[in-house]
Every structure is written in structure tokens, then in C-alpha cells.
Amino acid sequence: MVDDTSFILNHLGEDRQHGYDAVVPPIVQSGNFTYPTVAAMRSVVQLEMDRPLYTRGFNPTVAILRKKIAALEHAEDALVFSSGSAAIAAAVMSFVKAGDHIVCVHKPYSWTKKLLVELLARFGVEHTFVDGTDAENYRKSVKPNTTFFITESPNSLTFELQDLAAVAAIAREHNITTLCDNSFNSPLFQNPIDLGIDLVAHSATKYLNGHSDVVAGVVAGRADHIRQIMSKEFMTLGAAPSPHDAWLLMRGLRTLELRLHRSADSAAQVARFLEGHPKVARVHWPGLESHPQHQLARKQMKRMAGLMTIELDAPDEAGVERFCDNLKTFLIAVSWGGYESLQWPVCALKGPSGYYTDLPFTMVRLYVGLEDPETLIADLRQALDRI
Ligand SMILES: *Cc1c(COP(=O)(O)O)cnc(C)c1O
């Protein structure tokens, strides 16, 4: 197993002699591949997930990315999907059948929740959401038909953690397969497989790509698990990435280390500033000593990434809006993990969808991007004065 991050990001799997010796691997923008003889074609048809035949199953540009993602997550193999949601859905669906039961951390990513509540429920798969801050809650929810645990540590809005080693140990006792959505940490700051988790998923849209110009997802795990997902859900649901997006993602990976450490350094400064400000009632960020699971965070995560949520000391929604509308460097947008700092006010997303109605209107999620942290703090200070 290769464990030199900069080598993985910059060289692993690039096999340059098969790409005209180009320094940057070419984008193999082809949907299908040709063979000189019938016999040659026959020899690859059985191997369509390992050899170029048709790009839904195998594409040389995507294949480089698979090797890099697997190595980064200390996994045997990985798959790349056209979105993070597709990656999570395919991985979960691959391990459950009608009559099975899934235990999932409460408040997971919104479309992970929909996968369980609205999609899998229609096919007879049950679920229970648990408070994951105590791993024993997973054990207490195990039923004879439980086959799958979903973790997301921390989640990307309120930042509760699960003790991944403890959850994985409970799962192993009951022969249950585990998945962790590791998007917040990227593979650089947390490796769930080292803690005993079976499958790791990421929205590659976020830190892995890092430039806000691609939507993609990945799943990494044991070779037999990945092969199973690939031969069933990946090939039938067909959420394959385009070679061009895979190439952009590879370009984004070149700077993953630089971007992640910059974002984490700046987030620490921003979080400390916000925690000390009278107009900020609470900062949810696992890097702060005040976070209720700070010790666990330090135990299982290498560093704390640049996403946090604040609760403003604001009298009404108008006060929250004055803060948000006056922030100049934090763009009002969903998503995160790119170069640009973002803000995501909960009060903009409450409403008819019924999502987030349990969250206080004073919450604003902030993503700390690559701008000068001094500039970001000055901007926050002037906007807080407008509340
Ligand atoms: C964005 C996100 C997803 C979904 O990924 P897409 O690439 O948008 O489909 C899943 N989990 C987390 C934690 C995310 O932030």
C-alpha cells in the first residue's frame, strides 16, 4: 500500500508511457473502445470493469483517479461516481434487500436521509436514526434484520461525531457492514478504514475537487466490496463520471494538501475570533475546546477542516439577514470545499420542503476557503456589527 500523500496526488497510477509520455495524463474522451479482432474483443468482454470496452464500466482517465482515491483512503479499490449522492446510494443499496434494517446517524446529509426515508422504504428496507454521539445507541438499535450502519462523522451542519472505532466494533460483532461519509475530513484528515469501517464515501464535489466546477463522488473499500457495488449498482444505475470531470478532479487533487491545510489554518483563526465575539452565541466546530466531542475529534481526526456553523445572537430573522447580506467575501451558496468562502443561512432553507425546521433560525454555516484569513475576519466583524 502506498502511503506517501504527495506521491499519490502527483504520480500514482499515471502510467505516462501509455499517454504519449505527456506529463499530464490525457483526457480519454471516448465512450467506447475498439479491438483489432473478434478474438481480442471476446477477451475483454468478460473484463469490462477492468479493461477499456465502454466508458460506463471502465475509462482510462477515471481509472487513474480510482487508484489515487483508494490509496488516499488506505483501501484496496475505489469507484468514482457522477455525484456524492450517487456514490452513497449505490454503496448502501448494494448491501441491503427487502426486509433488512439500516441504522443511520441522525441528521445525516439531507439526501442520505431521503435515500432511507423516501427511496429504500418503498422497497421494504427499514431504518432507525440514532444519536451517534454515544456509539452504544447503534448497539441498542440492532435488530435481527440489521445489515448496515451509516455514519457521517462529523456531519456537515451541526458537527456531531461518532466514535468510528467503537461503531465498527459493534458492527463486526453482528456481521453488519459499515459506511462512513468522510466528506468533511477529506482523506487527509481522517481515514475511517483504519478505524475498522468497511466503506468510505465522499462527495468529491467538495474538498477532493476543490474548485467548485465539478459534481462527483467516490466510494472506497475492500476489493470484494467494491467489485460487488461495481458489478451491480454502479453498472445498472450508471452514475458514471465523464472523463473530463475525472480529469478536472485529478487536477484538483494536485493541490489537495495545500488547500486543506490553508483552509484548516484559516478556519482555526476564524473559529477563535467568532467564539470570542459577543454577537455569536455558539460556534459548532470540532476544533474548539468548547466542542462537546473535542477529545474524540482529536483522537480520530488528524486536523479540523474549514466548515463550521455559528448561532448568532440575533433578535429576529431580519437581524440574521442583515449579517448575511452584509458579508462580502462569504458568498451566499450551498456546497463547500472550493477555493471560495461561503455562507449558508439556515433561515433561507427552512420553508415548504420541511427540512431543517428543527434548527434555530439564527444558524449560519460558514465555509472558510482560501482567501486571506485577516480579510475574512475583518468582513465577519463588520457584518456582525450590523445585526
Ligand atoms: C455534498 C455532500 C454530499 C452529496 O454529494 P454531491 O456530490 O452533492 O452529490 C454528501 N455528503 C456530504 C457530507 C456532503 O457535504
**282-304: pLDDT as tens digits:** 999 999 999 999 999 999 999 99
What region, left, alpha or beta, does residue 24 occupy, with left being phi > 0 and alpha being psi -120 to 50 degrees?
A: beta
Do 151 and 277 lie in a common domain? no
Q: How far apart are CA 238 and CA 46, in angstroms?
A: 18
**337-354: pLDDT as tens digits:** 999 999 999 988 776 655
The share of the chain scoring above pLDDT 70, in percent, equals: 97
Which residues neighbour 374 within 8 Å (Cβ) at sequence distance 6 or greater? Answer: none
Q: How far apart are CA 229 and CA 150, in angstroms?
A: 16
Residue with cell 451542519: 157
- What is the pLDDT, as a whole number, of residue 356? 63
Which is higher by pLDDT, 347 or 259? 259
Encode burial over 208-223: b for 16+ CB neighbours within 10 A, e otherwise.
bbbebebbbbbbbbee
CA of 359 to the centre of ligand 1 (A): 19
CATH code of the domain covering residue 132: 3.40.640.10
- The domain boundary residue, chosen from 215, 231, 253: 253
- The domain boundary residue, chosen from 253, 287, 315: 253
Q: Is the distance from CB of 128 to CB of 176 less than 8 angstroms?
A: no
Do 112 and 201 lie in a common domain? yes
* Contacts by residues 348-355 (CB-CB < 8 Å, ≥ 24 positions apart): 355/110
Q: Which of 69, 79, 105, 109 to mutate to test the pocket of ligand 1 (most atoms within 8 A of CB)?
A: 109
Do 113 and 127 lie in a common domain? yes
Into how many domains does the chain fold?
A: 2
CA of 278 to the centre of ligand 1 (A): 32
Within 80-144, where are the H helices?
84-94, 110-114, 136-141
Q: At 157, which amino acid appears?
A: L
CA of 204 to the centre of ligand 1 (A): 8
Q: Give the mean model confidence (pLDDT) for residues 184-205.
A: 98
Q: Give the mean model confidence (pLDDT) for residues 193-216.
A: 98
DSSP state of 320: H
pLDDT at 226 over 80: yes
- What is the pLDDT, as a whole number, of residue 129? 98
DSSP state of 366: E
CATH code of the domain covering residue 360: 3.90.1150.10
Q: How far apart are CA 205 and CA 183, in angstroms?
A: 9
Q: How far apart are CA 167 and CA 170, in angstroms?
A: 5
Do 141 and 274 lie in a common domain? no
Do 271 and 223 lie in a common domain? no
DSSP state of 115: I
- What is the pLDDT, as a whole number, of residue 352? 60
- What is the pLDDT, as a whole number, of residue 141? 98
Do 307 and 230 lie in a common domain? no
pLDDT band at 87 (very low <50, low <70, confident <90, very high): very high
Q: Residue 339 is part of which domain span?
A: 256-384
Do 293 and 341 lie in a common domain? yes
- The domain boundary residue, chosen from 221, 253, 285: 253
pLDDT at 157 over 80: yes
264 vs 241, 287, 298, CA distance in Å? 28, 9, 14
The share of the chain scoring above pLDDT 90, in percent, equals: 94
**34-78: pLDDT as tens digits:** 999 999 999 998 888 899 999 999 999 999 999 999 999 999 999
pLDDT band at 215 (very low <50, low <70, confident <90, very high): very high
Ligand 1, pocket residues at CB < 6 Å: 83-85, 109, 156, 181, 183, 203, 205-206, 215, 217
Q: Is the dihedral of CA 93, 98, 101, 106 positive or negative?
A: positive
Q: Which of 152, 156, 180 to mutate to test the pocket of ligand 1 (most atoms within 8 A of CB)?
A: 156
